[in-house]
Amino acid sequence: MKFFVDTAEIKDIRDLHATGLLDGVTTNPSLIAKSGRQFKDVIKEICALVPGPVSAEVAATDYEGMVAEGEVLAKIASNVVIKLPLTLDGLKATKYFSGKGVKTNVTLCFSANQALLAAKVGATYISPFIGRLDDINVDGMDLIHDIRAIYDNFDFETQILAASIRSANHVTQAAIAGADVATIPPAVIYKLADHPLTKSGLEQFVKDWKSTGQSIL
């Protein structure tokens, strides 16, 4: 499974990219607002830093506006992915960009039927929001399973991009369910490597090594 980081903070992206774990980046209007910077400047800097897909979301809600904004965003860098909402206008815009060979990420997916529509119009990625479904007492991971089954039934090429991930367990469950990608907040990515037995084991190894009085260098 590919790992995208869900942030617009350049330092976090740079640090995670250096680990070799990062395959791409997703942003959204809320993350851009939190960064306090100009949208296009942030996207340009991220694209220069990370060679993988970088999702940049349109602000318009009508078809003509989405197309106009998407055309501008696509010119920023070759690895920009146009992020579009899962509305009828958003699907229409997705079809437009897919027809031009421009990658798209259809966001705010909360049902298997929505995911089916996104695949039919040629979306590169579909972003089901796991955490937000959990928030209303619906098991978000069931949606990943359902989309995986539908896409496999019909050999759709759209990739499942598990989004709204809140915990390390979400990442594990999404991988088991067959998500192609997980877009993860930086803090959760760091937690993936944490385990108390790893920590205690390493502390013991260090203690035992020091007792030998040796040096590898």
Q: How far apart are the first and last CA of the chain?
A: 37
pLDDT, position 152: 98
For the chain, give every domain's residue range.
2-212
Q: Return d(Cα 179, Cα 95) in angstroms, integer.
A: 22
Closest-CA residue to 85 (of 111, 103, 59): 59
Q: What is the DSSP string of 28-92?
A: -HHHHHHHTS-HHHHHHHHHHH--S-EEEE----SHHHHHHHHHHHHTT-TTEEEEEESSHHHHH
Given a contact cutoff of 8 angstroms between Cβ atoms, the answer to whether 43 and 80 are in contact is yes
83 in catalytic set: yes
What per-residue confidence (pLDDT) applies to 203? 96
Count other C-beta atoms under 10 Å from residue 19's C-beta: 11
For residue 52, which of 183, 151, 173 has the smallest C-alpha distance?
Answer: 183
pLDDT tens for each residue of the chain, 217 residues long? 999 999 999 999 999 999 999 999 999 988 999 888 999 999 999 999 999 999 999 999 999 999 999 999 999 999 999 999 999 999 999 999 999 999 999 999 999 999 999 999 999 999 999 999 999 999 999 999 999 999 999 999 999 999 999 999 999 999 999 999 999 999 999 999 999 999 999 999 999 999 999 999 9
- Chain centroid to Cα 172, Å, comes to 15
Give residue 139's pLDDT. Answer: 96
Q: What's the pLDDT at 108?
A: 98
Q: Which of 59, 78, 79, 55 is nearest to 67 (CA)?
A: 59
Element holding 202 (H helix, E strand): helix 196-212
In 3-state terms, what secondary structure has residue 9?
A: coil
- Any idea which residue has 């979306």 for tokens? 123
**Architecture field, domain 2-212:** Alpha-Beta Barrel (3.20)
pLDDT per residue as tens digits for the range 46-94: 999 999 999 999 999 999 999 999 999 999 999 999 999 999 999 999 9
Q: Report which secondary-structure segment, H or E, holds 107.
A: strand 104-109
pLDDT digits (tens, 9 = 90+) for 88-100: 999 999 999 999 9
91 vs 105: CA distance, rounded Å? 10
Instruction: Decide if 27 contacts 8 (C-beta within 8 A).
Output: yes
In this predicted structure, what is the pLDDT of residue 43?
A: 96
Given the residues 2, 11, 75, 83, the one annotated as active site: 83
What pLDDT score does 145 carry? 98
Amino acid symbol at 32: I
CB count within 10 Å of CB 56 equals 28
pLDDT of 78 = 97
